[in-house]
Structure 1
């Protein structure tokens, strides 16, 4: 039998863990990191550290709480969204990473400036990303802190402030290198913690793993009402879910600064490829473990122990409830640290990527001729300011019923990032696209997506087709407008499109950072 809730030992483990993360972040920060080193690292970060960091960044605590809840309450339908990696990763490796590495871009939006000869377009991309990221960071501090507060009795305000302050300290002092190494530790804690939780759950079940397999054989994997394929691509189906999620993920791989920043840490294409494949395997592995846990929790609470109070708990809280009330003392502390870890790695990455994007994409446009020391100082102040602002917003969220507003915000900004992804694809896949076409693509696809989201009934157009529509509209509108309106960016610079990839790969000019 497990314990009853959260003990002093668990609390001590959580405190020691947070202190260790802070110490590690400071250990990997070099006081003299300035300029490019602060934003891109010093070339000494191993590829596997960066890979786990991408994984830890994309796996937010929201996934931690909802993935197991999805399969607990329903089927494995949304597990198929993870298989979108099978599309996103080869696509990014084949068409985008060689170009990003060869151009040695400073930020994702640096690509837009170089490709379309437009600093304004670069700044617009950065502003959209920064708004999205600040909203995301606030909710990412609030959700796990609220769950921990209900389990531990600690004030939600204190939990939010502690999480924010620790992330601010190592983002502020050490730049990307600190963030990557601390993400690596957090990602490792997460992988081990969740796998251990599955082991304890299987041990608790009468019949071990068999009840989970039985449920998966009885429509708990996919229900008969969920079609594999629908010829009408606007309707939900498993095929559409894989393809739509694949292009969603691809959009964040190619146009979201927090991920692209990882790619700028090396120019070695082999390392970038290994980084991507490892990230994909980790993501599919952890999603599978979460879904097995959800199905196992259903077997445990709804079938084998329906009189347990846990059988009445809401789906999003069922996993944290199990962690607190069924796991041995100490293991609970480690797993709650893992939930905290998920949010902290997403948070520190957010702070660092916002600071980088603001400094290099926006501040450089406002103030010409900044030296590295000045840039680094601005980035530090931005990460501090944005961190404090996110803490305040997060505390406001914790004291107001605003989760529906978050869903609205995430849906709206998800559209915007999808639209940005379309502009990046326009630049990479066409030689003729120019500045006028890029602006037209951004504006028209934004209007189309806002109309579909708010003007068309939700049952008429599946959300999984959104990314495909926004990318399609961007490519068609952007290309046609580029053919009609000629401007000074009507010739794509060298090494900015897929047509240059054979030359990039054949070239031995790589200044590969050892």
Structure 2
């Protein structure tokens, strides 16, 4: 059959959705009121390094599990199969890297911006500023995609247009982030994580119920070629094989968890190193859980629409509308459930956006404005500048969201945009922490080459778009399908490429890998050619991993490890300014 498209929100749905928005805004107002007498900008950006591990764990999870997860992952299961589910392996690798390799280096440092670590390591502001600029230019477009996703979802199931949705969610998020600071961010993230889970669980359970259970859903998915976990083919042009999925997302997630302000700012401001590590591993449990629920939801939805694909039938036009359409088709008879789902989608986006605004404000202040006359202002004025900066990025993100719909699916757009910068940035942090002979010329050359090549591939893929071939779907059981319903929906002209132009058709998951590898290779070569080894005896290894003493020969190590100063690194909990407040 072909279901009706007329499924509007009820009073209960709007009530739940509005309650979620008011709750998020209310948390921001609460912390703004509680903090009204505190004039310190440190409180706004870092909570005086006294955050509790649990809300930080929830915030870490929420910050990186946006609407991309709720809308993109089920659609990926539906159209490409379960191979992408294996990205949970990547999540595990990223958490271990953050907790065991990067956290021990970062934790004692008293920096607001993680990019300042680079100037501490290389004694150069050039590397720090280059990293900061790359973070700013990569994060804002990514957040535009994140904001566009749920706005599209809401527009497909309610009378509210995509443009109106962008404005509502963007303004609410900008409001509570700019007045409440990092404490408001981590606690709204905690609330929003539970809404994300609740919405996805409703989809998963309803889908399995309608098709006759979990085993029946897996049977249908298996018969239609959707169950695929062992595709170990080495094909850089295939989106979903084991190596591309796991390796590509490993670079993405390690880069995000270990080198971006959004994540590092959270776990480095927990009130002890042990609890900071705990927050990372608790976050991992949540990440694996929510990805698994999203993937299971995709399997259930596929089983339900196995013989009546709503895209091929012409009911919906984009893959990212699949999950919202399923919700309205199968759950609209339950008052409030569609509202809960849409609240979950918006919560996923809100959490990522609020973390991003706060991180962008911190980087802009610590790496740029602090070096100007603004740095000499009173704490009260500095705090106001940080709030206005967060608000500015909120407005900029709203603008970016209006053009985000032009660049393809939510999942592919988010990974491609972020990957252009995350891969090369991870490369220079790896060089800084694990390579003693790395120098300024080397890492800057690597960063520029990595970003340049990744951007070249991304732009080329837009000019010469790849024809994405999905697994087969059917409309054999649909009724009243128009004669032209099976005609291609996307009228974009595609170009077949050969030779070097084929590079533009490489799997989007490998974009961050390309940037990372090129950055690493160029950094290593240039550092060696510009006398990096000769300067090893003068290197301060207090900003490097202890592993360097085990992985490099003595000829590439300083003669003696420096004495670590307690004023800048490995500070005791009591010396980290503040007690538990969050």
Instruction: Tell me the TM-score normalized by structure 1.
Output: 0.88
Q: In the alignment, which of 267, 272, 275 is matched to residue 276 of structure 2? A: 272
Larger Rg: 2
| Selected match of 1:426 from 427, 431, 435 | 431
- Structure 2 regions of 5+ residues with no counterpart? 461-499, 550-560
User: Would the aligned equivalents of 2:50 and 2:271 in 1 still touch at CA under 8 Å?
Assistant: no
- Output aligned runs, 1:118-157, within 5 Å: 118-157=124-163
Q: Does the 8 Å CA contact 1:108/1:257 hold for their aligned counterparts?
A: yes
Matches within 5 A, 1:41-440: 41-205=47-211, 207-218=212-223, 220-223=225-228, 227-230=231-234, 237-266=241-270, 268-303=272-307, 312-313=315-316, 314-327=318-331, 328-367=334-373, 368-394=375-401, 396-397=402-403, 402-404=406-408, 411-440=416-445
Aligned to 1:510: 572
Instruction: Report the Cα distance in structure 1 between the residues aligned to 2:368 and 2:407, rounded to whole angstroms.
Output: 31
Q: Render the CA deviation track for 1:429-482: whole Å, top value 9, x for unaligned.
A: 012212222212212333444455545514885444444443333333323333
In the TM superposition, residue 360 of structure 1 has moved relative to its aligned partner by 0.6
Q: Using a 3 Å threshold, how does the CA distance of structure 1 residues 36 and 459 change in structure 2: closer, same or farther? A: closer
Aligned partners of 1:141, 1:315: CA distance in 2, in Å?
17
2 CA distance for matches of 1:307 and 1:509?
58
Q: 1:107 to 1:500 in 2, by over 3 A?
A: farther
Q: Residues 109 and 102 from structure 1, CA distance in 2 versus in 1: closer, same or farther, beyond 3 angstroms?
A: same
Aligned residues: 506
How far off its partner does 1:356 sit? 0.9
| Comparing 44-53 and 25-34, the one that deviates more | 25-34
Structure 2 Cα separation of the partners of residues 56 and 144 of structure 1: 15
Q: 3-state DSSP class of the match of 1:153?
A: coil
The offset of 1:89, in angstroms, is 1.6
Contact kept in structure 1, 2:255 and 2:423, CA below 8 Å: yes
CA deviation vs aligned residue, 1:87-106 (integer Å, no higher than 9, x gap): 22212222111001022332
1:469 and 1:157 map into 2 onto residues whose CA distance is 35
Contact 1:110–1:361 under 8 Å retained in 2 = yes
CA distance in 1, matches of 2:192, 2:397: 21
- Deviations 1:337-369, CA, capped at 9 Å, x for gaps: 111111111111121111111011111233354
Cα separation, partners in 2 of 1:139 and 1:110, compared to 1, 3 Å: same
Q: Deviations over 1:123-161 (max 9, x none)?
A: 221122112222222232223223212321024333222
Q: Which deviates the most, 43-52 or 351-360?
A: 43-52
Measure, in 2, the Cα distance between the counterparts of 1:458 and 1:478.
23
Question: In the aligned structure 1, how far is the partner of 2:124 from the partner of 2:381?
Answer: 24
Q: Does 1:28 align with 2:31?
A: yes
Contact 1:11 1:333 in 2 (8 A): yes
Moved more, 440-449 or 61-70: 440-449
Structure 1: which 5+ residue stretches go unaligned?
none
TM-score (norm 2): 0.79
In structure 2, the residue matched to 1:497 is: 544
Secondary structure, counterpart of 2:83 in structure 1: coil
Q: Distance in 2 between matches of 1:410 and 1:74?
A: 17
